[in-house]
C-alpha cells in the first residue's frame, strides 16, 4: 500500500506505507521491525522512495531515514514518463524524455538527506516542445 500526498502548492509525493504504520501481522498487531534492518526494499541496506511532479513545480525528494542519505538515483525522467512506484518500480521513459534528467537529479541530490529539483525546461531542456512535461524520480537512501 502507498499513500499519495498532494497539495495544490506542493508536488505529489509517494510515501511507503511501512513508514506510516509498520507491517501488520495476520492478527492485526503492529509489527514495526524497521529498526531491525531487514525490511529494506533493496536487501542491501537501502530503502527506495519516489517523487513526482508536473512541469513548473518542484519535486521534493523527502528526507531519508536518520543516518542515511540519497545514495543512488535509480530512475529519473523529465518528459512524459509512465508507470508507478511500487516495491519494484515500473517507471519507464517514453520518446519524450530529456537525456539530462538523471544527471540533473544526481547533481542536486546525491549524498544529501533530502533535496528539491525544479521540473522546468530551463533545467533539463524541453524534450517535447508543446507537451506538458512531468518529472519522475526513484531513489535509494543508504
Q: What secondary structure letter does DSSP report for 133?
A: -
Q: Is residue 21 part of a domain?
A: no
C-alpha cell at 108: 542536486
pLDDT of residue 45: 58
Which pLDDT score, from 0 to 100, does residue 63 have? 84
Asked, for residue 82, whether it belongs to a domain, the answer is: yes
Q: pLDDT (tens digit, 9 = 90+) per residue, 80-137?
A: 999 998 767 789 999 999 999 999 999 999 999 999 999 999 988 999 999 999 999 9
Task: Tell whether 140 is covered by a domain.
Answer: yes
Residue 90: which CATH number?
2.60.120.740
Helix, strand, coil abundance in the chain, percent, nearest 5: 15, 40, 50
Q: pLDDT for 31-46, tens place per residue?
A: 333 333 333 444 555 8
| Residue 69 covered by a domain | yes
Q: Per the domain annotation, does 64 fall within a domain?
A: yes
Backbone angle region of 32, left / alpha / beta, with phi > 0 → left and psi within -120 to 50 → alpha: beta
DSSP state of 92: B
DSSP code of residue 26: T
Total number of domains in the chain: 1
The answer to whether residues 23 and 87 touch, using CB atoms and an 8 Å cutoff, is no
| 16 lies in some domain | no
* Residue 32 in domain: no
In whole angstroms, give the CA distance from residue 83 to residue 121: 22
Structural domain that includes position 112: 48-142
Per the domain annotation, does 87 fall within a domain?
A: yes
Amino acid at each position: 500500500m502507498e499513500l499519495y500526498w498532494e497539495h495544490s502548492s506542493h508536488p505529489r509525493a509517494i510515501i511507503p506505507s511501512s513508514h506510516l504504520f509498520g507491517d501488520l501481522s495476520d492478527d492485526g498487531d503492529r509489527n514495526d521491525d524497521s529498526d531491525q534492518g531487514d525490511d529494506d526494499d533493496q536487501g542491501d541496506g537501502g530503502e527506495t522512495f519516489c517523487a513526482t511532479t508536473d512541469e513548473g513545480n518542484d519535486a521534493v525528494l523527502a528526507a531519508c531515514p536518520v543516518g542515511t542519505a540519497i545514495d543512488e538515483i535509480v530512475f529519473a525522467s523529465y518528459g512524459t514518463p509512465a508507470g508507478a512506484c511500487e516495491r519494484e518500480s515500473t517507471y519507464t521513459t517514453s520518446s519524450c524524455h530529456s537525456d539530462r534528467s538523471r544527471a540533473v537529479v544526481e547533481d542536486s541530490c546525491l549524498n544529501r538527506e533530502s533535496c528539491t529539483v525544479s521540473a522546468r525546461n530551463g533545467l533539463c531542456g524541453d524534450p517535447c516542445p508543446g507537451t506538458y512535461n512531468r518529472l519522475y524520480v526513484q531513489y535509494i537512501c543508504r
